[in-house]
Structure 1
Amino acid sequence: MGFENAPLTGFENQRFDVNLSILFTELPLLERPAAAAAAGFTAVELWWPWIDSPTPGQAETDALRDALNDAGVRLVGLNFYAGQLPGPDRGALSVPGEESAKFRANLKVAADFARSLGCTALNALYGNRVEGVDPAVQDELALENLVLAAREADRVGAILLIEALNAPESPLCPIVSAPKAIEVVDKVNAATGLGNAKFLMDLYHLSMNGEDLEQVVDAYAEKTGHVQIADNPGRGAPGTGSLPLAELLGRLRKAGYAGQVGLEYKAGPAGSAQSFGWLPPEHRAAR
């Protein structure tokens, strides 16, 4: 539809943040926080920024922390190590061997980095099915690692997010529906007794799965710890597709969700800085 630069209505009362792992990627990582601030945003989120290393050096983490602080933006969401993302991987915690070991090595590093910035939401992507490995074995490993992640998140005052991806784009990932993600959330909370595992409701992914989004909102708003949006088709900015995103976010608010809404969409051809015209500047600062 191509309306990403035309202001839209119905988004006025949301707490938006920019995902710096999909937007502003035309810039080096350390320049992205300032670019988000220049566009009027005060909150950002990130996939694990150092995809080749679950345990980056102190100088690297300090540099990113300083870039965020210098730009005056808050980090409100961070992924644990998830393998090659972007790339073929969809997480590491259910993958036996080296990837699971990397995930465990990352837990304290990611949690400490989040705590240093006051970030209180940590996302743990489940991972792909592995050929030749019994799915039950992978699920057992996943629960073990998610329990560790929940405890590590709790140590730094954070929630643990469980995200449902979409089957067309992630055919090897078993967590491709809202009910399946909620099932995992409930299992983790039952195992830890902490109650800090929450659903990451990505409306784009759920729409790609053909789910009834109004029903998902009504059923799972109470268990939702974070929301992400992109329009469909195309995974572009609101207004470029046909999803009723303003109505869905309004429905979420009425259901009691008052948290962040991450902008996790692809920039248009004019670049990231020109992909926010749908949202007037006065509504970009997180409240």
Structure 2
Amino acid sequence: MPRFAANVSLLFGEVPLSERFARARAAGFEAVECWWPFADPDPSAAQVAVFVSALEAADVRLTGINLFAGDMPAGERGVVSHPGRTDELTANLAIVRTIVEATGCTRVNALYGQRLPGVPAATQDRSATLNLRRAVDTLGDVGATVLVEPLTDGENGDYPVRTLEDALAVADRVGTGAAVLFDAYHLHNNGADVVADVARVIDAVGHVQVADSPGRGEPGTGTIDFASFFRTLDASGYTGWVGCEYRPTAETEQTLAWRP
């Protein structure tokens, strides 16, 4: 059965981020993942050291991290397709490479970015391809795959990567070193049959995340057939981690009984 990693950007939110790694370990997780954990794209060396030390102290493995995605609380969802933010991305990639080297993290999620008023879509797509290729070139030789993630339509502004086909097309333009992030919640919301589709595209999948729909709670709180999903994922030969990226409906430890 799948190996589960706790997404500590959502799980264990009852305590500060620095304390969530130990909570995850105590709850039985050997691995964690997270969104970009700093306010800025280029935090200080001291801030990065504190982050890495917290992982080590908790004895958990970091299996996934997001690139800087802009001001997410304000609604931004990535910057790789934004032509005017290349300097931020360049600075961020240097920090991410440091984290990858220090932790052995193998998956880096690069949110695509929303469409910008007055900027042609083709211009943004060229910027995204170049920036994603830069990310692959920067991180690939230290063992990290760069992920392209579809997001729920209607919840994330004018975000153009919504379907598996959208993400597959982006990954194909970028080439070797890029893969699809298969998030069952987002894809189900956008009309995918996640059980059938995970088997169909498994060769292009670099990472899997789960949350139920509607509501984005833990598996079992919505309508996705996760028993079938996990059986299909196992039968497909997927050997990577499955990120638990849901919003707990109670204290996190009380929402873990669904794990096979």
Do the structures match in fold with TM over 0.5? Answer: yes
Please give the secondary structure, in 2, of the residue aligned with 1:77.
Answer: strand
Deviations 1:142-189 (Å, cap 9, x if unpaired)? 111001001112121111111111112124100000101001111101
Deviation of the 1:101 alpha carbon: 2.2
Cα distance in 2, alignment partners of residues 246 and 84 from structure 1: 35
Aligned match of 1:82 in 69, 76, 81?
69
Tell me which residue corresponds to 1:54. 41
Deviations 1:91-136 (Å, cap 9, x if unpaired)? 0111131x33212210121122122011111111100001111111
1:234-249 paired onto structure 2 within 5 Å: 234-249=215-230
Structure 1 runs not aligned, ≥5 long:
1-12, 190-194
Deviations 1:192-225 (Å, cap 9, x if unpaired)? xxx2211110010000001122332132101111
Tell me which residue corresponds to 1:72. 59
8 A contact 1:91–1:126 mirrored in 2: yes
- Is structure 2 residue 19 aligned with structure 1 residue 38? no
Tell me which residue corresponds to 1:10. none
Tell me which residue corresponds to 2:188. 207
Structure 2 runs not aligned, ≥5 long:
none
8 A contact 1:48–1:78 mirrored in 2: yes
Deviations 1:34-92 (Å, cap 9, x if unpaired)? 11111111100011100x21110111111111111110100000111111224401101
Aligned match of 1:94 in 63, 81, 86?
81
The one-letter code of the counterpart of 2:180 is F
| Higher relative contact order, chain-length normalized (CA < 8 Å, sep 6+) | 1
Moved more, 210-219 or 177-186: 210-219
Aligned match of 1:164 in 134, 150, 153?
150
Tell me which residue corresponds to 1:272. 252
Cα distance in 1, alignment partners of residues 196 and 258 from structure 2: 26
8 A contact 2:195–2:228 mirrored in 1: no
Output the aligned Cα RMSD. 1.3
Cα distance in 2, alignment partners of residues 222 and 201 from structure 1: 11
Moved over 3 A (4+): none
Cα distance in 2, alignment partners of residues 131 and 53 from structure 1: 24
Please give the secondary structure, in 2, of the residue aligned with 1:226.
Answer: strand
Tell me which residue corresponds to 1:135. 121
Aligned match of 1:155 in 134, 137, 141?
141
Aligned residues: 260
Moved more, 245-254 or 224-233: 245-254
8 A contact 1:168–1:209 mirrored in 2: no
The one-letter code of the counterpart of 2:208 is V
8 A contact 1:94–1:100 mirrored in 2: no
8 A contact 2:75–2:157 mirrored in 1: no
Deviation of the 1:266 alpha carbon: 0.2
Tell me which residue corresponds to 2:171. 185
8 A contact 1:168–1:208 mirrored in 2: no
Cα distance in 2, alignment partners of residues 258 and 32 from structure 1: 25
- Is structure 2 residue 14 aligned with structure 1 residue 26? yes
Cα distance in 2, alignment partners of residues 248 and 95 from structure 1: 35
Please give the secondary structure, in 1, of the residue aligned with 2:188.
Answer: helix
8 A contact 1:202–1:227 mirrored in 2: yes
Please give the secondary structure, in 2, of the residue aligned with 1:237.
Answer: coil
Change (3 A) 1:14 1:86: farther
Cα distance in 2, alignment partners of residues 24 and 208 from structure 1: 24
8 A contact 2:33–2:62 mirrored in 1: yes
Cα distance in 1, alignment partners of residues 71 and 16 from structure 2: 18
